């Protein structure tokens, strides 16, 4: 019975880690899109941009201190957002 409990514990741990990684990937994707939106448009005041940047720095520090898997997922998600929405669209694709 103890061995089954050990396997169940390991399976649960792996599932929780995968869900945590998927959640931080989506969170990073959303934050990346929001960052691009805030920093691209001139209609947002500079104070909002500074506050957002400082919030991102605080979030990265918190992830680094408390959740290494969360930091990896967040950075991958934010990087994917920058790659997907950050580059200018080419003229050939638009036509």
pLDDT at 58 (0 to 100): 93
pLDDT at 63: 87
Q: What is the pTM of this model?
A: 0.77
CA 83/CA 95 separation, integer angstroms: 21
Give pLDDT tens digits for 8-66.
999 999 999 899 889 999 999 999 999 888 888 777 888 888 999 999 999 888 888 88
- Measuring CA to CA, how many Å separate 92 from each of 67, 71, 79, 85? 42, 36, 25, 17
């Amino acid at each position: 019975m103890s061995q089954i409990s050990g396997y169940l514990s390991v399976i649960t741990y792996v599932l929780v880690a995968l869900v945590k990684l998927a959640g931080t990937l989506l969170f990073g994707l959303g934050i990346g899109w929001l960052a691009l939106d805030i920093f691209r448009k001139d209609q947002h005041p500079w104070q909002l941009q500074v506050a957002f940047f400082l919030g991102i720095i605080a979030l990265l520090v918190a992830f680094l201190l408390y959740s290494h898997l969360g930091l990896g997922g967040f950075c991958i998600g934010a990087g994917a957002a920058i790659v997907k929405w950050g580059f200018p669209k080419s003229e050939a694709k638009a036509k």
